[in-house]
Amino acid sequence: MSDLGVAVVIEDDADVRNLLQSVLLQAGFVVHIASDGRMGVDVAREKQPDVVTLDIGLPDIDGFEVLRRIRQFSGAYVVMLTGRTDEPDLLTALQGGADDYITKPFRPLELRARISAMMRRPRQDSSADLAAEKRTAANTPGLLRHNGLALNARSRTAVLGGAPVELTRSEFDLLHELMRGAGAVKSRSELVRVVRGDYYGDNDYVSEADERAVEVHIGNLRRKLRDNREDPRWLQTVRGVGYRLPPTRPEQVEGPS
């Protein structure tokens, strides 16, 4: 398999660390390891990885703090790993900028499939020239517009009222799925498959934890777009089913300040 880039494993348990290293090496990464949080931050800063696997329960500083520090200088894909299944952990990880969250014990093939799915979907290009994008917007393939929000699938940029909106990979993919659905209701299990890529087939079981992760991503999107749950412009909840794009409104909206 061709080299996929650099991965950093931040894990204090030697057995899990060796397993993660083996999985990533077999996938085609150059792998660097760290056994505690501070070391992990230093290794990530030095090696500038494409992917980081990060344990929450580290012996010095916890994984949430490591994630916060890494996000100050790196846009790497980050997969959080934990032996806990508490919902606050999931919420904190995804709100902190993690791309995925896997509980231990995990299946090596599952981890590899999730990372492969992430790598096939490039991150949002926050350095895009918004002025140039505005000039060419009318002729841009893959451009979706709704109630003042413009989503460009090719450059993976989101612009609201002329201002860029910084989205994670999963947030962008979910918003893109809803916008291209043009008002069709998308169930939580359908949106899990959007986030997970090819890992889940149409008939595979989708766990409650994965559906809850979608709810967290939608909540993050609402916060970033300043969308009103009671009078939504972009993210309407369909009780007991999932989410849809609300109807188009004639007026323009202001971007986040």
For the chain, give every domain's residue range.
5-119, 130-244
**Quick check: do 5-119 and 130-244 share a fold?**
no
Residues 6+ apart with CB under 8 A from 197: 113, 114, 116, 117, 118, 120, 121
- pLDDT in tens for each of the 257 residues of the chain? 346 799 999 999 999 999 999 999 998 899 999 999 999 999 999 999 999 999 998 999 999 999 999 999 998 989 998 876 666 777 778 778 888 888 888 888 888 888 887 776 655 544 444 444 444 444 455 788 888 899 998 888 899 988 888 888 888 889 999 998 888 999 888 888 888 765 555 556 667 777 888 888 898 899 999 998 888 989 999 988 899 988 887 654 444 44
Q: State residue 203's pLDDT score.
A: 58
List the one residue out of 221, 224, 249 whose CA is nearest residue 235: 221
Contacts 24+ apart (CB under 8 A), 230-233: 233/146, 233/147, 233/148, 233/149
Among candidate residues 227, 35, 61, 117, the one with its CA nearest the CA of residue 53: 35
Phi then psi for residue 113, to 5 deg, are: -65, -40
CB neighbourhood size of 53 (10 A): 28
Number of C-beta neighbours around residue 106 at 10 A: 16
Output the pTM of the full model.
Answer: 0.64
Separation in Å, CA 133 to CA 15, 128, 141, 173, 255:
48, 8, 12, 20, 16
CA separation for the pair 179, 233 (Å, rounded): 11
Helix (H, G, I), strand (E, B), or coil: what is residue 84?
coil
- The sheet with strand 157-160 has its strands ordered as 143-146, 149-152, 157-160, 163-164
Domain at 130-244: CATH code: 1.10.10.10
Q: Which of 97, 91, 243, 123 is nearest to 179 (CA)?
A: 243
5-119: CATH superfamily: Response regulator (3.40.50.2300)
Instruction: Retrieve residue 166's tokens.
Output: 């910084």
